[in-house]
Structure 1
Amino acid sequence: MNDLQQHLTQQLQVALAPSYLEVINESANHSGPATQSHFKLIVVSDYFKDLTLIARHRFINQLFKEELDHIHALAMHTYTPDEWQLKGSAPSSPNCAGGSQS
């Protein structure tokens, strides 16, 4: 786990006490030299129970306000425990649209 990935994980654990959490560094799947630029979050937390999807994403964007200066893409998949039980997984990330990735 790289430094930024670990930092994101720790911040989410403290802020949301998730019942399930994955912070996935997807930078290698994208074009360019950055190794900590693309992340996917899967967060399941009771905190989200009374929040709309946009409010959940705004919360995470605010939590990572400074970090987002260094992150090119942050995919957020936020669920309540009941939603997660119904879904069971987050959608796959799309392929890179960058020109230099094969």
Structure 2
Amino acid sequence: MNNMQQHLTEQLQTALSPSHLEVINESHNHSGPASESHFKLIVVSDYFNDLKLIERHRFINQLFKEEMNHIHALAMHTYTPDEWQMKNSAPDSPKCAGASKS
């Protein structure tokens, strides 16, 4: 696990006590030299029970306000435990239009 990925994981665990958490570094799927620039979050937490989707994303954006100066893309998939039980997966990330790799 790289430094940014580990940092994001630790911050989310502390802030949300998630029942399920995945912090996926997708930087290798994108063009450019940055190795810690694209992340996908899958967060399942009771904290989200009374929050609308936009409020969940705002919370995470605020949590990572400073980190966003170094992150180019952050895909957020935020679920309540009941939502996660029905879905049990998050959508795949779209392919990068500028990626040099396939």
CA distance in 2, matches of 1:68, 1:19: 24
Which residue of 2 is the match for residue 39 of structure 1?
39
Q: How does 1:14-53 map to 2 (within 5 A)?
A: 14-53=14-53
Instruction: Specify the SS of the correspondent of 1:8.
Output: helix
Which residue of 1 is the match for residue 2 of structure 2?
2
* Residue identity (%): 80
Which residue of 1 is the match for residue 56 of structure 2?
56
The TM-score normalised by the length of structure 1 is 0.98
Please say if 1:73 is aligned against 2:70.
no
Cα 1:99–1:42 change in 2 (3 A) is closer
The TM-score normalised by the length of structure 2 is 0.98
Aligned pairs, how many?
Answer: 102
CA distance in 2, matches of 1:99, 1:14: 33
**Root-mean-square deviation (CA), in Å?**
0.8
Please say if 1:92 is aligned against 2:92.
yes
5+ residue gaps, structure 1, are none
